[in-house]
Amino acid sequence: MILTVTLNLALDVTYDVAALVPHTTHRVRAVRHRAGGKGVNVARVLHTLGQETVATGLCGGPTGALITQELTDSSVPHDLVPVAGDTRRVVTVTDADATVFAEPGPIVAPQEWEHFQDRFAARAARARVVVLSGSLPRGLPSDAYAVLTRLARRAGAKVLLDSGGPALRAGAAAGPDLIKPNAAELAEAGLDPRTLPLVVSRGPDGMLAGTPQGHWEALPPEILPGNPTGAGDAAAAALALALRDDTPWPQALADAVALSASAVVTPVAGDVDLATYHRLREHVTVREIPCPW
Ligand SMILES: O=P(O)(O)OC[C@H]1O[C@](O)(CO)[C@@H](O)[C@H]1O
């Protein structure tokens, strides 16, 4: 089982408009509401692929209730831990591209964090891989991902970390099996990529892997237009499967690039188009390269 963790869950609200123009009124053409946050998207993609997964995280208030209901309706297995504060909304405005407005999320009390760690440790004991994704809500220590990484390791699970800023920097220090930042998150965290097993996503420019076994670059066969929100989460789903199955890096990267591209053509984060995935998968180019850092 792959356990995904979303400490800062979100109700993803997607507004489709003709063109986003700051300081004007927009008539929204279509509105979509859906349980989100990076780990939830990873779990949804794994579920779509028919893989065993459970989404955990911190969830509260009326927005949290909507999220729980949506996950149940979508049959995405979940075990969310309650908090008193109301879960946030993340609004994505899509026109030819995507613009994201991410609320900060609730303030989590110390005892809620303690309770989560206990539930997490019990769940991690039944997981082969744990995916730690996204931002941290207020109230959590910046080393929250380091704490969870150590608990997961103790429970015998591998760890994939996908975050940014101080949360990524502190989490990386605990030695997860793989980190998957995008290029901006890596730069923002100030990490030395030569010291870490990592896959860096570069949007339409594909992905770079730096591992003890070597370095690779993977490029998509074509650039597809659409909503890139959630593409990184689809890549994380592919990489979690690769960690679980000890897939060789070139194959893992090709899967990640194709699955990520197949998320771009769907209108909401967390969805992948399996026909696009299978079509692109055979044509992703992977080549071994000298250390790019
Ligand atoms: O935790 P954050 O880094 O704020 O990211 C959350 C957001 O990212 C997405 O997961 C897309 O990657 C959205 O579903 C949205 O909820």
Where along the chain do its domains lie? 2-11+36-91+105-288
Q: Please provide the average confidence, as pLDDT, over all residues in the chain.
A: 95
Beta bridge partners of 279: none
Give catalytic status of residue 245 as yes or no: no
Check pLDDT > 90 for residue 227.
no
pTM: 0.96
- Residue 242 CB less than 6 A away from ligand 1: no
Ligand 1 near 181 CB (within 6 A) = no
In CATH terms, the fold of domain 2-11+36-91+105-288 is UDP-N-acetylmuramoyl-L-alanine:D-glutamate ligase (3.40.1190)
C-alpha span between 133 and 115 (Å, rounded):
19
| pLDDT bucket at 197, cuts 50 / 70 / 90 | very high
Is the minimum distance from the CB of 228 to ligand 1 under 6 angstroms?
A: no
Relative to the CA of 8, which ligand 1 atom is closest?
1
Q: Which residue from 58, 92, 188, 229 has its CB within 8 A of the most atoms of ligand 1, so it is best to mutate?
A: 229
- Percent helix, strand, coil in the chain (nearest 5)? 40, 25, 35
ipTM over 0.90: yes
Q: What pLDDT shows up at residue 91?
A: 97
Q: How far apart are CA 219 and CA 284, in angstroms?
A: 6
